[in-house]
């Protein structure tokens, strides 16, 4: 199973200097602040952005780290400077990643009876546990044809949307999470998905009321076992040095109350042995 290929958007097509200036502007750092973080001078950063200096490979890596770029973007910045990428991008089907993939599968199983799944950074479903079935009840089969995007399933009118009891707030929550991702790491695939998903949630109020909780928004979902209230947790691998691993996400849906926990447990007991 492989992660979806993603085009680099931040640095295409442009010079190293333009790419550096764009990344610095996005992170709202001054040339002096970036210089201090990267261990160089403001004058040197200025010369780099104007194309008057050529950076060494080590400086490019330090600048990328100072800008907190993703591994994919760090590779792109290195390419713009004329250097080969230093971070590998290994397919999940590669034998070298088999131990990691199997370990993550065990984590998913351990979350049962609570739904849990593994995705790439744009929401492509890579694996899920048996409890994930409660989220997919009634979802149109066309949305479950691989590659499945869980963000699309979450707000699509033939996906979870008809069963989400707080859809206006939940849909806005999903869209805001993508906006937040894009503010940190622009990506054309994710941007295109955002436009689609905003079309599905355009009925949500532009100004949220006092009960809106933003990024802490729970999912209130009707299910065959009764109404569920779920909180989500997302785990990423920030210390990874492989692009694929760094873009993996483990998302778990946890019960927000005792009734939800009991209902999820009852669904597990009803599964065929």
User: Is the pLDDT reported for residue 2 higher than 80?
Assistant: no
Query: How many whole angstroms from its chain centre is CA 123?
Result: 6
Query: How many whole angstroms from its chain centre is CA 151?
Result: 10
Return the closest-CA partner of residue 184 out of 73, 59, 101, 269: 73
User: Is the pLDDT reported for residue 31 higher than 50?
Assistant: yes
| CATH 3.30.450.180 residue spans of the chain | 95-269
Full-model pTM = 0.82
Q: Report d(CA 76, CA 243) in Å as an integer.
A: 12
| CATH 1.10.260.40 residue spans of the chain | 16-80
Decide: 230 and 254 in contact? Cβ < 8 Å: yes
Mean pLDDT of the chain: 89
* pLDDT 10s digits, 164-207: 999 999 999 899 989 888 887 778 888 999 999 999 998 654 44
Q: Report the pLDDT value the prediction gives residue 95, as an integer from 0 to 100.
A: 94
Place of tokens 């591994």: 71
Please state which of the four CATH numbers 3.30.450.180, 3.30.450.40, 3.40.50.180, 3.40.50.720 is assigned to the domain occupying 95-269: 3.30.450.180
Q: Report d(CA 22, CA 111) in Å as an integer.
A: 41
Environment class of 130 (CB within 10 Å of its CB; exposed 0-12, middle 13-18, buried 19+): middle
pLDDT higher at 186 or 32: 32
Question: Residue 238's CB: how many other CB atoms inside 10 A?
Answer: 6
User: Is the pLDDT reported for residue 3 higher than 50?
Assistant: no
Domain made up of 16-80: CATH architecture: Orthogonal Bundle (1.10)
Decide: 159 and 143 in contact? Cβ < 8 Å: yes
Q: Report the pLDDT value the prediction gives residue 185, as an integer from 0 to 100.
A: 79
The count of C-alpha atoms lying within 13 angstroms of the C-alpha of 26, restricted to the half-sphere facing its C-beta, is 21
The mean per-residue pLDDT over the stretch 213-242 comes to: 87
**Percent of the chain, pLDDT > 90?**
75
């Amino acid at each position: 199973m492989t992660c979806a290929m993603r085009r680099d958007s931040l640095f295409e097509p442009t010079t190293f200097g333009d790419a550096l200036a764009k990344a610095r502007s996005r992170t709202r750092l001054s040339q002096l602040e970036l210089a201090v973080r990267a261990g160089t001078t403001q004058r040197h950063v200025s010369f780099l952005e104007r194309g008057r200096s050529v950076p060494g490979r080590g400086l490019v890596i330090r600048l990328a780290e100072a800008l907190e770029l993703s591994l994919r973007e760090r590779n792109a910045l290195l390419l713009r400077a004329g250097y080969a990428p230093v971070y590998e991008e290994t397919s999940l089907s590669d034998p070298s990643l088999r131990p990691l993939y199997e370990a993550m599968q065990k984590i998913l199983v351990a979350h049962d009876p609570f739904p849990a799944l593994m995705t790439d950074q744009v929401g492509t479903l890579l694996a899920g546990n048996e409890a994930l079935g409660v989220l997919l009840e009634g979802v149109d089969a066309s949305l479950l044809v691989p590659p499945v995007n869980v963000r699309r399933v979450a707000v699509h009118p033939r996906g979870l949307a008809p069963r989400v009891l707080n859809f206006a707030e939940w849909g806005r929550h999903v869209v805001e999470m993508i906006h937040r991702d894009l503010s940190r790491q622009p990506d054309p695939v994710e941007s295109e998905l955002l436009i689609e998903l905003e079309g599905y949630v355009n009925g949500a109020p532009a100004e949220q009321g006092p009960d809106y909780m933003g990024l802490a928004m729970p999912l209130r979902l009707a299910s065959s076992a009764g109404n569920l209230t779920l909180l989500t947790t997302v785990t990423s691998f920030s210390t990874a040095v492989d692009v694929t691993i760094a873009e993996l996400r483990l998302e778990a849906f946890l019960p927000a109350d005792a009734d939800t926990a009991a209902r999820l447990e009852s669904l597990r007991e009803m599964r065929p042995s």
